[in-house]
Chain A
Amino acid sequence: MGRFKNNKKSRVIVKPIAKKNQEDVSHVTGDKIPKSFVFSRMKLAGPVKQLQMDLRKLMLPYTALSLKEKKRNTLRDFLNVSGPMGVTHFLMLSKTASSLSLRVARTPQGPTLTFKIHQYSLASDIAQSQLRPRCPQDLFKSPPLIVLSGFGSQELHLKLATIMFQNIFPAIDINTVKLSTCQRLVLLNYNKDTKLIDFRHYSIRLQPVGVSRRIRKFVQNHQVPDLRNLQDVSDFVTKAGYGSESEGDEEAATVTLSSDLGRVNKGATKSAVKLQEIGPRMTMQLVKVEEGLCTGGIIFSEYENVDGKKEKLKKKQDDEEEEEEDSEEEGEEGSEEDGEDMDEDFED
């Protein structure tokens, strides 16, 4: 009850999307469906505001698309609102003169990952650079898949990042999932040499393979072909068309669908998976992992000096209070209890 006192003084104006569609628990897995808030604590200007909007669209449908925050809303307000609404993750953007950073945190007490964004491109930039930008209508109606690569399983902060990202998006059950709902994909690729994470957002498209180009275009686009120069319809159907250069890549990307997917891709025939980029593109670097929600002990920090000093200070303070903190070293995972057991596990 004490937690809710703040609501009277400073109200958070939160407008979530239509509640009737939201479920808290997924039928399939029995887990809670993770929901998120994307916001920023300070007033953003220009392209960063667009980036925030792009991120919100990315997290659809389980996010608040038209979330409005005021200056006087503190983090505590968001926390208070997130409880009853079942929001599990916060994504916070903040911009200073030198850097732009994204913090991914798990409510209510979860760890916070801080990423520094080195470069970013907006969804509109990417659409401009493409010849045929593609955005079908129900693209944002189902949550995206997530693919993580290059993270490895050695370093703990990377492991934590992996877990965090996997949990942001709801899980899918391969036995019952409909392939028509898998329309988007988020890719996080970690590069060990530069320690940078590439963040990309794609839309998935299936194209039947083995059909000549002209017939495929005719069926897909409903464009009536030009039959002026042909004597017979059979010429149109059987003429060998030239192949595009991407058809070679399709060989590797061929899947056999289990069911019909739209008019064109029939079940039990081969189709190729084609990805087209939508949405923001970011290059980020993990700089800090904190235990609490933007507070708490620093588990990992990119800049060693800061970490070392803070660690020592913390140790002195906590020596009197808790003994768990004693054994805390850099390579520890964020979860709380059984500190010594965890040590044994991960020092291998």
Chain B
Amino acid sequence: MSTGEEGHMAMADRGSRKRRVGVKKGTKAARNKKLKSKPSSSDRFKVTMKNQKLFQKRARDYNSDEEEEEDESKKQPEVTIREKIFSDANMGPNYEEIEEEDGEDNDENSDGEDHGEIESGITKFATDGCNAFKIAFKAIMKKTKGDDTLGPVLSAHKHLIGEKLAEEEAEKKAKGQARKAKHLIAEKGHVKPESYLDSHEKILIGVATKGVVKLFNAVNKAQHAQKGLNPSRSKDAKVLKKRRKEAFFSELGKTKTDPKAQKSEEEAPAWAPLRDNYMLANPKLKDWDKNQETKEGDDFAAMSGDESYED
């Protein structure tokens, strides 16, 4: 706190000084400090009539040029001279492009600052006696304000830049189209379902459900039948096997009456040897199969053959 106050005091004291040591002239920092220090000083001192007038004038600063001219000119004549010298020296590289306005360079320097700063820069040169400068510069600024997207550019370069921009746009368009075409190819065949259940889907779900129901019923029968029997006892084991066979055959027997298209539903979820294609797919066993089985539907012979072969 104390250091802050000290700093504040220092700033206030320094505000009364005309020259500031250790601060570069004509830079942003200098101008910022100038502006900042004055409000801070107003916090510390009483608001006298003189100060009040001063402040009111400053408030109007941001809106008009003339008052500022007078104010600034009274207060810091030396600073403006120094600034002009500095900016003159600074103009070197940009000087060829912009012949008329010296103020241009200063303007570019202060481009990022707020309107007040630009105005003060302009008016400084103006107070040095170049009213004509001020008028000319302002006229140019007004002109370039209404310009198109290119901004403040010399007419000679405008065409080139215009061409370049047109080229870039054309390229972008071409790229965009190429990208769109690529995207279309990538998405080819990709269908997002709008409605979840339409009639075709319902049919398919019905088919699948039927298959599952058959399987679960078969499982239930098979497992229920062997609930009572203990698989470890050898006597029971035989009964178990017999029951298993019978239960499964009865299940198969039911499905045979169904139309043939649905028959394949039963095949798939069952035990591997129970699939009809089990033996047919395995080429080594095929020959054996051929003698006993003529049709597909003759499962009994095949199954009993299966069983014995497996054991």
Contact = CB atoms under 8 A, between A and B. Distances in A.
Instruction: Decide if A and B are genuine partners.
Output: yes
Interface of A: 29, 31, 45-48, 97, 99-100, 117-122, 125-126, 128-131, 145-153, 159, 162-163, 165-167, 171-175, 177, 179, 182, 185, 187, 189, 198, 200, 202, 204, 249, 252-259, 273, 275, 277, 281, 335-338, 341, 345
A257 B195 CA distance: 33
Nearest to A198: B204
Nearest to A97: B185
Given A125-B193, A153-B296, A147 B207 contact: yes
A102 to B, nearest CB: 12
A174 B207 contact: no
Interface in B258-278: 260-265, 267-273, 275, 277
A166 B208 contact: no
A334 to B, nearest CB: 10
B287 A149 contact: no
A158 B58 CA distance: 93
Contact of B215 (A119, A145, A152): A145
Contacts of B217: 255-256
B189 A100 contact: yes
26 contacts: A46-B186, A119-B190, A120-B191, A126-B193, A129-B195, A129-B196, A145-B211, A145-B212, A147-B212, A147-B269, A149-B211, A149-B264, A152-B264, A153-B260, A159-B277, A163-B277, A166-B268, A171-B270, A174-B219, A174-B271, A177-B219, A189-B207, A202-B205, A253-B209, A255-B213, A258-B227
A204 B269 CA distance: 14
A189 B267 CA distance: 14
Contact of A166 (B186, B248, B277): B277
Give the most central of B219, B271, B286: most A CB within 10 Å.
Answer: B219
A255 B220 contact: yes
Given A162-B264, A166-B277, A177-B219, A337 B186 contact: no
Nearest to B227: A258
B272 A258 contact: no
A250 B139 CA distance: 86
A335 B289 CA distance: 16
